[in-house]
Amino acid sequence: MTNIVMVMAYNLPSEVEQETSLLNYEHEGRFDYLVHLKPSYLFGPPPVEPPPPAPNPKYPTEIIRRIEMSFTYMPDKAGSHVVRVTAVLENPGIWQKEILLVPYTSGQRSFTVDFLLDIKEFNEIYDDIEEETGIRLSERNVTIVAEAELEDGYRLFIQRLPIKLGETIIEFDSNLSQTVEGATGRFSYLVFLKENSVYTQTVLMSPLYTPFTPPSSSKTLKPGQVIFSKLIDKMDVTFYYQFKSDKPVSKLTADVVLTAFLRATGPEEAELWSKKFPLLYTRESGDFNVSFPLDLDGYLELFETIRKETDVSAASNSVTITAEVNTVAETPLGVINETFTQAIEGNITGNLLEWDEELTKTQPSSITTSQMIPNPNKYLGLPVDRLRMLTPILVGIFLIFFITSLVLYKRFKPPEPPLVEKEAVQAKKKYGDLMVEATGQTPLEGERIVSLGSMEDLIKVADELGKPIIHQPPSASEKRHVYYVFDVATRYQYVFSTRGKERRSNARKTK
């Protein structure tokens, strides 16, 4: 026992491994937004009905010499952009043919690309395809498609201009301008004419048509205010990011991706459908903030459009804005390369849009190392070193106490009772309910004694006769316990004595 105690004490670790922080840092993100409302009777000014659309310009085919077109792209963000222009001819649902008009062309900020619109070539292609397929079209259409994107291919702007190729008339769509999330594209063209008696000009310019812009409401809503979804015009969102460290870092860069997720759910939160819309990608240095518009009105229209297409009403709709910031920084202790993610969710219930109230998130982290330190734990209320010093003393005290107790026990130990007494006690415990105690014995005249070989035999006799067992304790002169059962003049008995147990296998009768 003492060896076990000493082994346990000396096997306790003097040192333990502990994670120690060398550099503590923290990512902190915060969303802020401003919701612009449409004109309304609730907040003003009252809504204004848009004027009827301008008529589409039409030009006689026979007097057209050539058509020169231009596409001007005005991005919302500085940087290198590329533009590509194609013409799409088609028989909807049957065939489609794309003709490249302008290959990918790069430019900085606003720039313009020019191209020739060859109506004769388009009609020849239609003629060939109609002859090959045997299907004549009642109407020939050409769609001019301009695609603009960042040079890394992340953001995409698409504008389409429909043109009808009639046998005698060419009709251009009147809407030549388009603005999406701050970026604007604009088509323009010049129609060069042959000599004719209709026009005095030799060149006709595309109409300078300005799309109707409804009056904007001066009412805006900030976080925490009630938002009526049907009154939303647009939403301006700003994301702030800050990197905090208790020691200097260098070359801090962050790749930022902002994404919008639309999600419709049915009963028990089962997802019906979801869509992802990229909002912004940028690379920043140090702490930064980025602002971008959110087309909430368009998203709400998309929810309604899909509901009508599927004829399934969602239990709830939500718009989630997610910011992912991959931060890289150099420190004397190593490179930090982590991704911080923050999202805010707007739930649409009825005609109300409710955004998360918590707009700030922090994510602490650290650079750590493992090192050995003195064991801080206590055992029996003592540190390991003191426990080891006191263990031999405690073991010695324990041994002294143990030996003393053993000696005292040997000296004052009461004598063990004789074997016959032990057996009598056991019989009392086991068969006490069947016994009665006798204080003396008076032999009967003509009594017969049947000695039995075991107490179990006597129990059987008592059960058979239905009589109690009489116990006669030992007298001063003779140390024996007698157990017997009377039946008329016969005594069935079993004896415990100091000479041993009296067992007789054969019954003896005395007269």
Cα 125 to Cα 89: distance, rounded to the nearest angstrom = 9
Which tokens belong to 123?
A: 């009609």
> Which residues are paired to 497 by β-bridges?
480, 500
Report the pLDDT averaged over residues 446-470. 81
pLDDT in tens, 340-374: 999 999 998 878 888 888 999 999 988 876 666 66
8-state DSSP, 105: E
Q: Are 119 and 165 in contact (CB under 8 A)?
A: yes
Higher pLDDT, 214 or 70: 70
pLDDT at residue 511 in the model: 32
Report the pLDDT averaged over residues 285-310. 88
Q: CA quadruple 130, 131, 133, 138: dihedral positive or negative?
A: positive
Q: Are 234 and 36 in contact (CB under 8 A)?
A: yes
pLDDT in tens, 78-127: 778 899 999 999 998 889 999 999 999 988 778 899 999 999 999 999 99
pLDDT in tens, 396-442: 777 788 788 877 777 776 665 666 677 777 777 777 777 877 776 66
Q: Give the predicted TM-score (pTM) of the model.
A: 0.46
Higher pLDDT, 429 or 191: 191
Residue 443 has pLDDT above 90, yes or no: no
Q: Is 4 helix (H, G, I), strand (E, B) or coil?
A: helix
How many Å from the N-terminal Cα to the C-terminal Cα in the chain? 67
pLDDT in tens, 32-41: 999 888 888 8
Q: Are 389 and 398 in contact (CB under 8 A)?
A: no
3-state helix, strand, coil in the chain (%, to 5): 20, 50, 30
Percentage of residues in the chain having pLDDT higher than 90: 32
Q: Are 141 and 163 in contact (CB under 8 A)?
A: yes
